[in-house]
Amino acid sequence: MEYNTAEIKKITMDNPIVEIDGDEMTRVLWALVKEQLLLPFVDLKTEYYDLSLENRDATDDQVTHDAAHAILKHKVGVKCATITSNNARKAEYNLKHLHPSPNATIRAILDGTVFRKPVIVQSIQPTVSTWKKPIVIARHAYGDVYKNAELSIPGPGKVELVYTDKDGTEQRIVVADMKGPGVVQGMHNLDDSIASFARACFLYALEEKLDLWFATKDTISKIYDGRFKELFQEIFKKEFKDLFEKAGITYFYTLIDDAVARVVKSDGGFLWACKNYDGDVMSDMIASASGSLAMMTSVLVSPNGVFEYEAAHGTVQQHYYRWKRGEKTSTNPVALIFAWSGALAKRANLDGNSELMQFAQKLETATLRTIEEGDMTGDLAKLANPAPQRVLDSWEFVQAIQKRLKTL
Ligand code: NAP
Ligand code: MG
């Protein structure tokens, strides 16, 4: 192919990335990041899906399903934050009806595990002073309390758990002989889901060369949590022990309370696999203790080798309203930029495209260098030590990254 030498030689791509656009302030930043940091450097090949709330409503959410299936086909996707509709949004956007969370729909189709990793910058010290390297959280995204059945009990009576198999044979156990009013809940998980969670964690640990920690409360919940421990152990022994030894990494199981106590004394640099509820709570703790929600990246890894990258934060609604009134907001695009660099690096890795891989690394380096040299958005300015040189709006910040990217 002939290049005009007066222009920057653009990097070419062999296969597309599935690009999923979204809503509000993140949609504004999405276009900005593409225009300033990607299109001048890469002959970007994407298959585009518009998951704005308007378009999800217009297509009766078909576009969300199409996007998820496109990720299955092309293996790599990158997603902007999207509004999960509720009654307020229904009125605001004049929707035909409410739609399920796009992330839940995509997760169900890809059957994945979500990994969340903070972007670490020297000038933003984590609240936990011993943390030197990022702690990555893997959250099991199926079952437990998120798919529970619960009852309010009005007065004394017996509560039982009953399982009836295909032939009608029953197993039953008394949950409680209630002495008075109260509450009760039942929950479940599936061996298949636990096993694919375990495999996703072992694979991610290998890929990123990170030790893996897993913790439950199996001393109390001997059967339920015990099953998680057992399946992780079995799969590790059969499929991953040798690979871990070769990679020089370890798998470590402990009790959840012991894990929490160790995490705050560790220097970081490991993958922490969490059951659904633990992951929900601990990922917010890690995000806020590491710095800012705007610095948390997220990747959905499915057991069949499919990857979807996104920022962990939402659409930053209040900033969007200010932007619509003509204000230049200081919304932080770092997690969105890292979603793109993650997707480009994965595409490069699958396609053996070393130029694209180098570009993805340069994009991250330029972003981190910009912050470390004192140019940052308002959310980081509050946390930075030394204090920032300049507090920039999103447009100035992206320009500052572009300037550095051109020199790398
Ligand atoms: P949010 O968009 O994450 O924002 C919460 C607050 O965090 C913001 O008001 C802002 O604080 C701060 N923040 C988050 N990202 C930031 C960034 N990039 N730069 C600077 N500050 C940032 O959460 P939300 O307000 O709860 O949700 C808004 C919408 O996003 C909802 O409709 C929800 O459904 C959707 N959502 C989508 C996803 C997803 O698609 N993955 C995830 C979560 C939520 P200040 O106002 O103090 O500056
Ligand atoms: Mg949470």
What whole-number percentage of the chain has pLDDT above 70?
98
CB neighbours of 144 closer than 8 A, spacing ≥ 6? 187, 189, 275, 276, 277
Does the pLDDT value for residue 260 go beyond 90?
Answer: yes
- What's the whole-model pTM score? 0.87
- Nearest alpha carbon, ligand 1 atom 10: 316
Residue 7 pLDDT class (50, 70, 90 cuts) = low
Give the model confidence (pLDDT) of 74-89 as tens digits.
Answer: 999 999 999 999 999 9
From the list 45, 121, 41, 43, the residue with the least C-alpha distance to 408 is 41
- Quick one: DSSP state of residue 240? I
C-alpha angle 276/277/282, rounded to 5°?
105
Pocket test for ligand 1, best of 295, 316, 379, 382 (most atoms within 8 A of CB): 316
Residue 33 · residue 336 · CB < 8 Å: yes
- CB of residue 315 inside a 6 A radius of ligand 1: yes
Rg (CA), the chain: 23
Measured in Å, residue 379 CA sits from the centre of ligand 2 at 20
Burial (CB < 10 A; 0-12, 13-18, 19+), residue 78, is: buried
pLDDT of residue 122: 86
Alpha-carbon distances, residue 57 vs 53, 84, 94, 205, 273 (angstroms): 6, 12, 9, 38, 35
Residue 204, burial from CB neighbour count under 10 angstroms (0-12, 13-18, 19+): buried
Asked if 204 contacts 198 with a C-beta cutoff of 8 angstroms, the reply is no
Calculate how far, in angstroms, residue 279's C-alpha sits from the geometric centre of ligand 2: 8
The size of the chain, in residues, is 408
Q: What is the pLDDT of residue 146?
A: 83
What is the per-residue pLDDT across 291-317, written as a single tens digit (0 to 9) for each?
788 999 999 988 778 999 999 999 999
Whether 5 shows a pLDDT value over 70: the answer reads no
Averaged over 175-184, what is the pLDDT?
Answer: 97
The pLDDT, as a whole number, for residue 304 is 78
| Nearest ligand 1 atom, CA 331 | 19
pLDDT one-digit tens code per residue, 310-327? 999 999 999 999 999 999
313 lines ligand 1 (CB under 6 A): yes
Contact 336, 29 (CB under 8 A): yes
The pLDDT score that the predictor gives to residue 3 is: 45
* Alpha helix (H) residue ranges in 59-190: 62-74, 87-92, 102-110
Do residues 309 and 115 lie in contact, with contact meaning Cβ atoms separated by under 8 Å? Answer: no
Q: Is the CB of 103 under 6 A from ligand 1?
A: yes
Backbone angles phi, psi at 18, to 5 degrees: -80, 115
Sign for the CA dihedral angle at 165, 168, 174, 180 comes to positive
- 3-state secondary structure (DSSP) of residue 283: helix
CB 152 within 8 A of CB 129: no
Contacts of 398 (CB under 8 A, 6+ apart): 32, 33, 36, 37, 333
Write down the residue that tokens 């509450």 correspond to.
183
Cα 302 from chain centre: 12
pLDDT band at 43 (very low <50, low <70, confident <90, very high): very high
As a whole number of angstroms, the distance between CA 206 and CA 210 comes to 7
How many CB atoms sit inside 10 A of residue 147's CB? 11
The Å distance, Cα 152 to ligand 1 centre, comes to 34
In angstroms, the CA 241 to CA 237 distance is 5
Token output for 18:
């599935």
Q: Tens of pLDDT along 100-146? A: 989 989 988 887 789 999 998 988 888 888 998 999 999 998 889 88
11: which DSSP letter? B
- Return the structure tokens found at 270: 């490991």
Gap from CA of 314 to ligand 1 centroid (Å): 4
57 contacts: CB under 8 Å, gap ≥ 6: 93, 95, 96, 97, 99
Dihedral in degrees, nearest 10, Cα atoms 26, 28, 32, 35:
110
Cα–Cα distance, 401 to 58 (Å, whole number): 36
Sign of CA dihedral 330, 336, 340, 345: positive
Q: By three-state DSSP, how is residue 154 classified?
A: coil
Ligand 1 pocket check for 23: Cβ under 6 Å: no
Bridge-based pairing of strands 136-139 and 113-118 is antiparallel
Pocket lining: 84 vs ligand 1, CB cutoff 6 Å:
yes
Longest CA pairwise span in the chain (Å): 83
Q: Beta-carbon neighbour count of residue 23 at 10 Å?
A: 27
What is the rounded CA–CA span in Å between residue 165 and residue 306? Answer: 35
What are phi and psi for residue 77, nearest 5 degrees?
-135, 155
| Structure-block tokens of residue 305 | 């080798």
Ligand closest in space to the Cα of 103: 1
